[in-house]
Structure 1
Amino acid sequence: MTPRSKRAEVRNPVLGLPAARLLQTMPADTRALIALLLTDLASDARRRSRASWDSRKAFVAAYWATVAVYAGHVARVLRGNGRKSAERKPFRISHKGYPDLMATDWADASHQYCERRDQLGLGASMFPEAMIQIAGMPVGRISYNGRIWMPGPWQPGDEPLFDNRRAETD
Structure 2
Amino acid sequence: MTRRSSRAEVRNPVLGLPAARLLQAMPTDTRTLLAVLLLDLAAEARHRSRSSWESRKVFVAAYWATVAVYAGHVARVLRGTRQRGTSRKPFRIAQKGYAELAAASWKEASDLYCERRDRLGLGASMYPEALLLVADTPVGRISYNGRIWLPGDWEPGTEPLYDTRSPAGH
Residue 105 of structure 1 aligns with an amino acid whose one-letter code is S
- 1:128-143 pair list within 5 angstroms: 128-143=128-143
Structure 1, unaligned stretches of length 5 or more? Answer: none
The answer as to whether partners of 1:76 and 1:82 remain within 8 angstroms in 2 is no
Residue 62 of structure 1 aligns with an amino acid whose one-letter code is A
Deviation at 1:168, TM superposition (A): 6.7
Cα separation, 2, equivalents of 1:44 and 1:88:
18
The answer as to whether partners of 1:42 and 1:72 remain within 8 angstroms in 2 is yes
Residue of structure 1 in register with 2:159 after alignment? 159
- With 93-102 and 130-139 compared, the bigger mean Cα shift is at 93-102
Q: TM-score, normalised by structure 2?
A: 0.91
- 1:1-170 pair list within 5 angstroms: 5-81=5-81, 88-167=88-167
Residue 32 of structure 2 aligns with an amino acid whose one-letter code is A
Cα separation, 1, equivalents of 2:53 and 2:82:
28
> CA 1:44–1:4 in 2, change beyond 3 Å: closer, same or farther?
closer
Cα separation, 1, equivalents of 2:32 and 2:87:
15
Cα separation, 1, equivalents of 2:154 and 2:147:
12
The answer as to whether partners of 2:92 and 2:103 remain within 8 angstroms in 1 is yes
Deviation at 1:125, TM superposition (A): 2.4
Cα separation, 2, equivalents of 1:122 and 1:4:
55
> CA 1:139–1:21 in 2, change beyond 3 Å: closer, same or farther?
same
- With 74-83 and 90-99 compared, the bigger mean Cα shift is at 74-83
Cα separation, 2, equivalents of 1:145 and 1:128:
11
Cα separation, 2, equivalents of 1:52 and 1:40:
18
How high is the sequence identity, in percent, across the aligned residues? Answer: 70
Cα separation, 1, equivalents of 2:134 and 2:125:
27
Bigger fraction of residues in helix: 1
> CA 1:121–1:136 in 2, change beyond 3 Å: closer, same or farther?
same
Cα separation, 2, equivalents of 1:25 and 1:86:
18
The answer as to whether partners of 2:163 and 2:169 remain within 8 angstroms in 1 is no
Residue 139 of structure 2 aligns with an amino acid whose one-letter code is V
Structural RMSD (CA): 2.1
The answer as to whether partners of 1:148 and 1:161 remain within 8 angstroms in 2 is yes
- With 68-77 and 87-96 compared, the bigger mean Cα shift is at 87-96
Cα separation, 2, equivalents of 1:82 and 1:132:
22
Cα separation, 2, equivalents of 1:14 and 1:21:
10
Cα separation, 2, equivalents of 1:162 and 1:75:
21
Runs of 4+ in 1 over 6 A off after TM superposition: none
